[in-house]
Copies of this chain bind each other. A is one copy, B any other.
């Protein structure tokens, strides 16, 4: 339907490009990123026109205003995409780093060298800027980007991909550094997840139904960018002024993102003092809580929370509240309901901080700061392809380094094994 070759052939093209990119110098990759940025800006009119078609289609289909806003591009947004590529060009290249090296008693020299993964596949939803952002991170790390966006953004994605490919080719690298799958039907997505001969790593960026589909169907290796059901635990020795600022920031500063707090857990010793202040500061946030939270804050402000509420990532101005008898109960609560993303403790007690950071099982455990800091930019990685909530390969914010693997290079002088 799209006029593109079959997906297996697209995969082979990406793989062939990946072989060239893996050996490209940092200078060549950076030139290609800057050239792609320039063409993106030059092609703004075509990109905005294509985006206009997607927006009209979305509005005609009755899509919500929030979703249409995510889809919509403006000259400023296209310009920001180009700036993003130039910023990635300025980051250090992870490829070729000798991570470690040693010499064995028999004289063999072993070096562990950072190399690109090869073809990085990404399945994503409506935001067209992901097409450019993902391409940039993949190219910088020596990988080909094999992208499958949503049907709602297909015209925008095609226009953006055409501009980026043109820029890469101008700079002398293979245009298949970015291969966009134009066929957005469900069966193609399943086929995509099973292209083991060409995909080295798949990063799904989407909701629970996409993750379920990956778990069920994917045979390619993948890294899951999962939910964030993040907790802020206010310990009995917490600085309560600070605690109010932190829960307000963690919940309200940007409620729609994965590192926003979804649950407040409070030690019973400070609940009576802290919770009414927190509830007042969280004006505009719907609260659901356990019986003790209701006793303290009042049933007019807090509704009774179910286990389902405690397990849910609201991604909205809604917060669950639990009161626990002690630190151990708080840790149990967090480990039971958390999604392994980010969990914070607010305390002045060193032993409490130590126990919480050791015993809570999550990608990021924070002491006395907002959960919103779990982020590639905030960590200083310069950019982020996602936040892994799995334990293998990458855990937490994934930057350029997480788009690489390592290879052992072993050098001898005729050694054989006895």
Picked from B102, B239, B365, B409, the residue with its CB within 8 Å of the CB of A409 is B365
- CB-CB < 8 A to A299: which residues of B? none
Say if the beta carbon of A23 comes within 8 Å of chain B.
Answer: yes
**Are B393 and A253 touching (Cβ within 8 A)?**
no
Say if the beta carbon of A291 comes within 8 Å of chain B.
Answer: no
Say if the beta carbon of A207 comes within 8 Å of chain B.
Answer: no
**CA A104 – CA B376 in complex, angstroms?**
12
- CB-CB < 8 A to A364: which residues of B? 407-410
Max chain B C-beta neighbours (<10 A), residue from A200, A374, A406, A417: A417
- CB-CB < 8 A to A357: which residues of B? 407, 409
Given contacts A118-B391, A373-B108, A391-B117, contact A368 B411 (CB under 8 A): yes
Q: Write out, one digit per residue, whether chain A residues 398-418 have a CB within 8 A of any chain B CB (1) or not (0).
A: 000000011111111111110
Given contacts A242-B414, A416-B253, A417-B372, contact A221 B391 (CB under 8 A): yes
CB proximity of A203 to chain B, nearest CB, Å:
11
The count of residues in chain A whose C-beta lies closer than 8 Å to any C-beta of chain B is 64
Picked from B102, B359, B374, B416, the residue with its CB within 8 Å of the CB of A249 is B416
Q: CB within 8 Å of B: which of A360-393?
A: 361-370, 372-374, 378-380, 390-393
**Are B219 and A219 touching (Cβ within 8 A)?**
no
**CA A412 – CA B346 in complex, angstroms?**
10
**Are B219 and A216 touching (Cβ within 8 A)?**
yes
Say if the beta carbon of A204 comes within 8 Å of chain B.
Answer: no
Q: Write out, one digit per residue, whether chain A residues 74-117 have a CB within 8 A of any chain B CB (1) or not (0).
A: 00000000000000000000000000001010001010000001
- CB-CB < 8 A to A362: which residues of B? 407
Say if the beta carbon of A39 comes within 8 Å of chain B.
Answer: no
**CA A100 – CA B201 in complex, angstroms?**
25
Picked from B201, B374, B408, the residue with its CB within 8 Å of the CB of A391 is B201
Q: How many copies, total?
A: 2
Given contacts A118-B391, A201-B392, A405-B391, contact A372 B239 (CB under 8 A): no
Picked from B110, B117, B412, the residue with its CB within 8 Å of the CB of A368 is B412
Given contacts A410-B364, A412-B366, contact A219 B223 (CB under 8 A): no
- CB-CB < 8 A to A409: which residues of B? 357, 364-365, 367
**Are A104 and B378 touching (Cβ within 8 A)?**
yes
**Are B108 and A391 touching (Cβ within 8 A)?**
no
Max chain B C-beta neighbours (<10 A), residue from A357, A405, A408: A408
Say if the beta carbon of A396 comes within 8 Å of chain B.
Answer: yes
Say if the beta carbon of A269 comes within 8 Å of chain B.
Answer: no
A220 nearest in chain B by CB position? B215
Q: CB within 8 Å of B: which of A8-29?
A: 19, 22-23
CB proximity of A93 to chain B, nearest CB, Å:
15
Say if the beta carbon of A358 comes within 8 Å of chain B.
Answer: yes
A379 nearest in chain B by CB position? B110
- CB-CB < 8 A to A414: which residues of B? 239, 242, 245-246, 368-369
- CB-CB < 8 A to A417: which residues of B? 249, 253, 370, 372-373, 378
CB proximity of A258 to chain B, nearest CB, Å:
14
Say if the beta carbon of A127 comes within 8 Å of chain B.
Answer: no
A-B contact sample (16 more), CB < 8 A, given A250-B416, A373-B410, A391-B405 = A19-B359, A104-B380, A216-B219, A221-B392, A242-B414, A246-B416, A248-B416, A353-B411, A362-B407, A365-B410, A367-B411, A369-B410, A369-B414, A373-B412, A374-B410, A395-B408
Across the A-B interface, give the 4 residue pairs with the lowest CB-CB distance, nearest first: A369-B412, A249-B416, A391-B405, A242-B414
A-B contact pairs, 12 of them (CB 8 A): A110-B380, A117-B392, A201-B391, A250-B416, A253-B417, A357-B407, A367-B409, A367-B410, A368-B415, A369-B410, A369-B414, A379-B408
